[in-house]
Amino acid sequence: MNFKPGLEGVPVTHSSICDIDGLNGKLTYRGYPIEELAAHSTFLETTYLLIWGELPSPQKLRDFEAEVQMHRRVSFRVRDMMKCFPATGHPMDALQSSAASLGLFYSRRAIDNPQYVYDAVVRLIAKIPTMVAAFQLIRKGQDPIQPRDDLAYSANFLYMLTEREQDPLAARIFDRCLILHAEHSLNASTFSARVTASTLTDPYAVIASAVGTLAGPLHGGANEDVIAMLEEIGVPGRASEYLDQAIDKKRKVMGFGHREYRVKDPRASILQELAEELFARFGKDEMYDVATAFEKEAQDRLGPKGIFPNVDFYSGLVYRKLGIPRDLFTPVFAISRVAGWLAHWREQLGANRIFRPSQIYTGEKVREWLPLEDRDAMENV
């Protein structure tokens, strides 16, 4: 049997959503290079492209934006439920619970109805940011802030989260971060989404499954750990020593390495540009020099093994400058990746076969039952 741990390199579906050229560091969404989308598109326009396969006409984009805006609010029942969550709980657990709870409000068995599918896409894209922001205020003992219809998608999220209207440049840079994180072919959380979708369950369960997967430190959770690592290094001059210790102890360096890329993740390069644009306007984060010094040191020692910065290495520095708390970095990743997960959900429904891989059994051969009274002799086995 062709055993591949973690399904490394094993194609498990046909997909037309995203293509990654890991050797040359190229990433396209529906054929459009990520650099073009990050420079010229908006997150909602990119969401439309990912889910329906084509850039929207001006009217279709206006309609989609208007629908998302109309569905930003979250039921008081969900908000009240979130008020019962422990304030010390991780926001990714709060998001996974609240995303799954949406399934209680909408019928579950209509995924063959295109209107149901469209409505579910709009609701999830619209409500996930509101739920992330709501938990932030609730855990501070405050009432969540209602969405503002006069603010565009990203500006509204930052307003609900930070309780103040952000500078337009900050909102635009945040929107470009959402574009960069929206989709990345069959990463672990998207694979979770497709496996869950293949059972024909409701889209809210699909998204809850993907959120839980993204939370792991080897996946979306790395962006939080990168900041902790940079703070532990403290100053650029200690980067080399920290890296030596990590390598000696065979510790994984957070924000580095990738199953697909054998060069620097193209998203990391664009996030660096966004960080520098933000710092030029609002002042530099001293951790940036630590990050660039670390990357330089790692070039010689990890580069030959094909280990370079990935999307998580610089994203946290942008979010920190935007006033986003560290434990919300991964929920922000989730806000963006809902677009990719929903695109894969629709694609899976279009040509579905339930995922049920095989295994290589390594357990006991068939053996006789052992009555309880005869097991004392087993005590020291």
Separation between Cα atoms, residue 275 and residue 322, nearest integer Å: 10
Residue 258 annotated in active site: yes
Residue 312 CB, shortest distance to ligand SDX, in Å, is 5
Q: Which stretch binds ligand SDX (CB under 6 A): 205-213, 217-225, 289-297, 371-379?
A: 217-225
Any residues with CB less than 8 A from the CB of 35 and at least 6 apart, and which? Answer: 266, 270
For residues 181 and 333, is the Cβ–Cβ distance under 8 A?
A: yes
Query: Can residue 258 be called a binding residue for ligand SDX (CB under 6 A)?
Result: yes
What does the per-residue mask of binding to ligand SDX show for 51-80, with x meaning CB under 6 A?
Answer: ------------------------------
The contact mask relative to ligand SDX for 260-279 (x = CB under 6 A, - = no) is x-------------------
Exposure string for 197-214, b = 16+ CB within 10 A, e = fewer:
bbeebbbbbbbbbbbbbb
Cβ at position 206, least distance to ligand SDX in Å: 16
Instruction: Please tell me whether residue 194 binds ligand SDX under the rule CB under 6 A.
Output: no
**Is 123 an interacting residue with respect to ligand SDX (CB under 6 A)?**
no
Binding window for ligand SDX (CB under 6 A); candidates: 9-17, 44-52, 230-238, 255-263: 255-263
Residue 192 binds ligand SDX (CB under 6 A): no
Strand-pairing partners, residue 20, are 27
Neighbours of 361 (CB within 10 A): 7
Interacting positions 133-172 with ligand SDX (CB under 6 A): none
* Stretch of residues binding ligand SDX (CB under 6 A), selected from 232-240, 249-257, 314-322, 354-362: 249-257
Q: How far is the CB of 162 from ligand SDX (least distance, A)?
A: 25
Quick one: 17 or 307, whose CB is closer to ligand SDX? 307
Which of the residues 258, 265, 285, 344 is marked catalytic? 258
Binding mask 300-319 for ligand SDX (x = CB under 6 A): -----x-x--xxx-------
**By CB under 6 A, how many residues form the interface with ligand SDX?**
20
By Cβ distance, which residue is nearest to ligand SDX?
Answer: 257
- CA-nearest of 314, 226, 333, 239 to 276 is 314
Instruction: Note whether 187 binds ligand SDX by CB under 6 A.
Output: yes
Asked if residue 256 binds ligand SDX (CB under 6 A), the reply is: yes
Classify residue 8 by burial, with Cβ atoms within 10 Å: 0-12, 13-18, 19+: exposed
Between 63 and 244, name the residue whose CB sits nearer to ligand SDX.
244
Asked if 42 contacts 153 with a C-beta cutoff of 8 angstroms, the reply is: yes
Q: Locate 334 and state its tokens.
A: 């989730």
**Does 222 interact with ligand SDX (rule: CB under 6 A)?**
yes
Kind plus residue range of the DSSP H or E element containing 143: none
Query: Which one of the listed residues 175, 202, 312, 344 is annotated catalytic?
Result: 312
63 is catalytic: no
- CA–CA gap between residue 328 and residue 115 (Å, rounded): 32
- State how far the Cα of 57 lies from the Cα of 62, in Å rounded to an integer: 9
Long-range contacts of 251-255 (CB under 8 A, 24+ apart): 252/218, 253/229, 253/298, 253/302, 253/307, 254/217, 254/222, 254/225, 254/226, 254/228, 254/229, 254/312, 255/222, 255/223, 255/225, 255/226, 255/229, 255/309, 255/310, 255/312, 255/313, 255/314
On whether the CB atoms of residues 285 and 321 are closer than 8 A, the answer is yes
Nearest distance in Å: CB 41, ligand SDX: 17
**Where in the sequence numbering do the catalytic residues fall?**
258, 312
Footprint on this chain of ligand SDX (rule: CB under 6 A): 184, 187, 218-220, 222, 252-260, 305, 307, 310-312
